[in-house]
Structure 1
């Protein structure tokens, strides 16, 4: 049975093995522009705040409020959530919902040159429903929407990182 002292001796060897295979922690994508303006997003929505934090976490880009200071403009064309009934019981009671989040956006320069044409991201999640657990299901719904929101922010960040310098 390995002792604590033996485990501590093996730690540097394990670190070298992990580093040698190319492993590294996930980092925020590097964006090729210094400033960006967000247009068409609700001012203080959780989605807008998460997107702003992700952009600024890249370290090389900051979000600005004026077009004059922006190198690129990220426009939200549509930002919507949808909830529809996916399944019902024979008595007509809802048994499953489908939750959807949709974001349509484009990236352009302040002069109007399109860098990313109209792009749509659509995520859907199914959620079972039981009337006796209505409060818990509301919390589950909120958690599913937050998860979809984070997924969309990550996808937007990957698309922004793929844009060459304007």
Structure 2
């Protein structure tokens, strides 16, 4: 019985290895130091900094005096959250909102060479609204904003990893 279980497990492992399956690894960046002017109060900036430093290969500088130590500069051109009414009922009460998050940035060297041109990443989610569950809907809204923020951070990380040479 043990032999059969071993054969089944090893057969599954070989099948996964043969198909090219691999767990996602931390990206390799072409730089080791990055300057970012994102404010410390920005939740997106905090998550982006944490994601960049989690691999242990990139040091994120945020002090303006360290600007000349950085190999690349991440210029944040805008970070914006919006809440737009999508629909109303017959009496004019809001029934549905659309939440949007926009993040605009570019990446350049200290000498001014543009590595990633001005880019805008936009995320949006629809959320229903009910006056009798305002607190629950507010919590759901915050959760959706956090989810969009994580998506944006992952997209920025992939774009930064796509830079192959400085």
Task: Decide whether the 8 Å contact of 1:31 with 1:58 is kept in 2.
Answer: no
Per the TM alignment, residue 29 of structure 1 is displaced from its structure 2 partner at its CA by 1.7
1:75, 1:106 within 8 Å by CA — same for their partners in 2?
Answer: yes
Deviations 1:126-145 (A, max 9, x none): 10111111111111101110
Aligned counterpart for 1:19 among listed residues 7, 13, 17: 17
| Equivalent pairs, count | 163
1:70-96: CA deviations, max 9, x gaps?
Answer: 000001100010001110001011100
Residues in 2 aligned to 1:53 and 1:89: alpha-carbon distance in whole angstroms: 43
- The TM-score, its normalising length taken from structure 1, stands at 0.91
What's the secondary structure of 2:14's corresponding residue? helix
- The match for 1:140 is 140
Q: In the alignment, is residue 121 of structure 1 matched against residue 85 of structure 2?
A: no
- State which of 45, 48, 52 in structure 2 corresponds to 1:48: 45
Question: Alignment RMSD, CA only?
Answer: 1.5
Structure 2, unaligned runs of 5 or more: none
SS of the residue 2:95 aligns to: strand
Cα deviation code 1:46-105 (max 9, x no counterpart) = 211110111112332121232121000001100010001110001011100000000010
Structure 1: gaps spanning 5 or more residues: none
Choose from 41, 55, 58 the match for 1:58: 55
